[in-house]
Amino acid sequence: MEPATKQASSSSPSTSSAVGRRTILKLAGLGGASWLTYLAELLAREAEQPASSTRSSQVPAQSLIVLWMAGGPSQLETFDPHPGKKISGDTRAIKTAVAEIQLAEGLEQIAEQMASIALVRSLVSKEGDHERGTYLVKTGYRPDPTAVHPSIGAICCHELPTGSTEIPRHISILPGQWPSRGGFLGEEFDAFKAGDPARKISDVTRRVSDLRMQQRLQDLDVLEASFARGRARSVEATLHRATVHEAKRMMSSEQLKAFDIGKEPLALRTAYGDTPFGRGCLAARRLIEVGVRCVEVTLSGWDSHANNHDVHTRLKALLDPALATLITDLKQHGLWDRTIVLCAGEFGRTPTINRLGGRDHWPHGFSMALAGGRIRGGLAIGQTDPEGGRNVEEPKQVADIHATLLSALGIDPAKELISPAGRPLKLADGKAIGQLLT
């Protein structure tokens, strides 16, 4: 059996090699001279970036991007293939930029970036239900009737400096059925929901003149003051005034332009993939650039109880260019050291294939990918049983991933907050995985 922990050798490509062969070919496919100009700009920016070996391991990241694979992707068709084994279902593996690590076919662009990515292949949980599994992975806690736990994005916004950001600091693009919430931290830490960046954000553009808008706000002030007489405490509890204030600030902010991916070169938009998910990942980079603390981008549809291989082939075609280009783009814009990227779903899929050609829910050994900031790339921790059993090598809990992410963000996972029920709760009730941190 192969070692459970695999790491890039000294001869592996540097994480600073951001412009891969497939990226160049994709840009060339655009035709004309524009791709040459854009490629020259990429190479020039890359030359200006410091080598990854010189980056400071002491400076924590400041933002988190969560690529949420809603439905539960199969570890065997993504980050933990077992080629030649019965459990693979004939899924083939491909080589990566790290000689000791393979990925499933269909992730060729991500494979080129493997020296920048860490995999945890031995995650285990007790939650095989979609809603409960989503809650666990997004918050680090199993559902508990005594407390609604905040998602990790809400914790980032609560614990990291506010800065000069005028738009919501917690954003969910293409949110699914259970978007990230503020939990007991409060609704102000809920994720702001946005759709496909190809469309304008709804309800942020005023439909009347400035003068008319100002008059409406003055009228609202009169109504609020009248209603608040004798009800000051209950009015403050509704957060209505704070919400109106934040909405007004957002509507007038230049930072709203971060949602407008049309301002990016066509070559870059094409590299991400001309899909809602690809556009969401590009918008995530732009939002991080203006100071947003957490952006969640959802790619739905991984619940492959039937036609598992077809489902994964289609979705990997969306994930592969988007994640690979996001890594490249963060580096080119000087955001790599200050941004953590997590690619995760609520659980994995069974080693056996059912009579419908699908794989069912499997929380007994699944994978997540991490990259950026203080995350050590070129690493694969743990492995699942190649024969399909429930035993895994180096088992890790979801809470350990949360503790690792918070540590990389300079947040103490053991810090306790008091829930509304008066209970002290740690930000993460797990242990940081030291191998993942530089």
First to last CA, the chain: 27
Q: Kindly indicate the confidence band of residue 51, based on its pLDDT and cuts at 50, 70 and 90.
A: very low
- The single-letter DSSP state of residue 437 is B
pLDDT in tens, 192-250: 999 999 998 866 666 667 777 677 777 777 777 777 776 766 666 666 666 665 665 66
Q: What pLDDT is attached to residue 12?
A: 39
- Is the pLDDT score of 50 beyond 50? no
Instruction: Please state which of the ranges 72-76, 112-116, 238-242 shows the lowest mean pLDDT.
Output: 238-242
Residue 57 pLDDT more than 70? no
Would you state the pLDDT for residue 216?
72
Mean pLDDT of the 12-38 span: 52
> What's the token pair of residue 24?
């160049």
pLDDT at 14: 40
Residue 4 three-state SS: coil
pLDDT (average), residues 112-136: 98
What pLDDT digit, counting tens, does each position of 287-305 carry? 999 999 999 999 999 999 9
**Mean pLDDT (the chain, rounded):** 87
To the question of pTM greater than 0.85 for the whole model, the response is no
Q: Check residues 11 and 274 and name the one with the higher pLDDT.
A: 274
What contacts 166, CB < 8 A, 6 or more positions away?
249, 250, 253, 255
Domain boundaries, the chain: 6-47+61-197+260-436, 202-255
CB 150 within 8 Å of CB 185: yes
Q: Inform me whether the pLDDT recorded for 1 exceeds 60.
A: no
Residues above pLDDT 90, as percent of the chain:
72
pLDDT at 3 over 70: no
| Bridge partner residues of 67 (DSSP) | 297, 343
Name, in order, each residue with C-beta under 8 angstroms of 239's C-beta and a sequence gap of 6 or more: 186, 187, 188
Collapsing DSSP states into helix, strand and coil, what is residue 228?
A: helix
Distance CA 203, CA 221 (A): 20
Pairing of strands 366-371, 117-124: antiparallel
Q: Which CATH number fits domain 6-47+61-197+260-436: 1.10.443.10, 3.60.20.30, 3.40.720.10, 3.50.50.60?
A: 3.40.720.10
Residue 254: pLDDT band by 50, 70, 90 thresholds?
Answer: confident
pLDDT the model gives residue 251: 64
